[in-house]
Amino acid sequence: MSEARTVRAAAAQIAPDLDSAGGTLDKVCAWIDDAAARGIELLVFPETLVPYYPYFSFVRAPAFSGPDHLALYQRAVTVPGPEIDRVAERARRHGMVVVLGVNERDRGTLYNTQVVLDADGRLLLKRRKITPTYHERMIWGQGDGSGLQVVDSAVGRIGALACWEHYNPLARYALMTQHEEIHCAQFPGSMVGQVFADQIQAAMRHHAAESGCFVVNATGWLEDHQISAITDDPAQQKALRGGCMTMIVSPEGKVLGEPVTEGEGLCVADLDLALILKRKRMMDSVGHYARPELLSLLIDRRPAATFHDRHPIHGPDGDAAEALSRSNDDEQQAWPLQPTAHQ
């Protein structure tokens, strides 16, 4: 655990480019350049920012969403792929850790994917949202447990979840058992109204205090003309306003810096990693405050497999037997048991 280092972190509240295939990616690279000039070492962008969050699916009936859904497929990215390479080059150039939300296309399916790039440009983590929420289930497939990982980066141990995954206490605990130091959260923003912003703030502060880590949370933003382009119905437009709470929280649940709730901007704060130990000395939810003999967590981190190819083989006695020759999860590993998490 890092105990004597300060990390300058930022969460970006940014509007996507809804009109061009590469416009949002251009903005992401420009914002990385600007953040580097301010000494930012960790920069977190909103949920599925590239190319954009599917706001249309929240206000438009599925029967009328086909063209917009297809356009999202056409503009989605592959991971790894050229778009991620471009962001990785920027991260490497500036020595910055970047957490980016993308719509990932894997052949015929889209996923809500979080990408963590280290300061040297390496792809440290690609994780898919395990349960898309409400209207999102018409857009994205489900992720699996392979992404519930905390990774070592140039700024510390990073974990990530998207939006209402923060209402899944077991998903959060899966990251807590791996001793995350900085939790990177992402929400779409510009939805539901003030109640959504209030809920985000409550969830971020609670996770910070419960996990004993810093939380860096980014939410998206929509300009008025973008809302009008998505729908001309005033009632539906109201559903695409508010809900922005780009913020940074300390391990003690204290809000750091100035949250961004309107417009585009950066929330910036210096993270004193010594506060992690200060908090956990009092309450370590996966250590001295845990009761593993009473309560524990089972994590299945094996990637989901859609096929298992079995074929007959012959043993020494000539009898035929069935063996698993290959599957699309050949690289699954057996994870060791931990005191508070059966993995």
User: Which residue in the list 41, 47, 136, 180 is annotated as catalytic?
Assistant: 47
Q: Is 129 part of the annotated catalytic residue set?
A: yes
Catalytic residue status for 278: no
Contact in structure between 31 and 43 (CB atoms under 8 Å): yes
**Per the residue annotation, which of 163, 184, 213, 267 is the catalytic one?**
163
Beta-carbon neighbour count of residue 106 at 10 Å? 13
Q: Is 165 a catalytic residue?
A: no
Strands 246-249 and 214-219: antiparallel
Catalytic residue among 27, 83, 126, 129: 129
Q: Classify residue 236 as left (phi > 0), alpha (psi -120 to 50) or beta.
A: alpha
| Catalytic site positions | 47, 129, 163
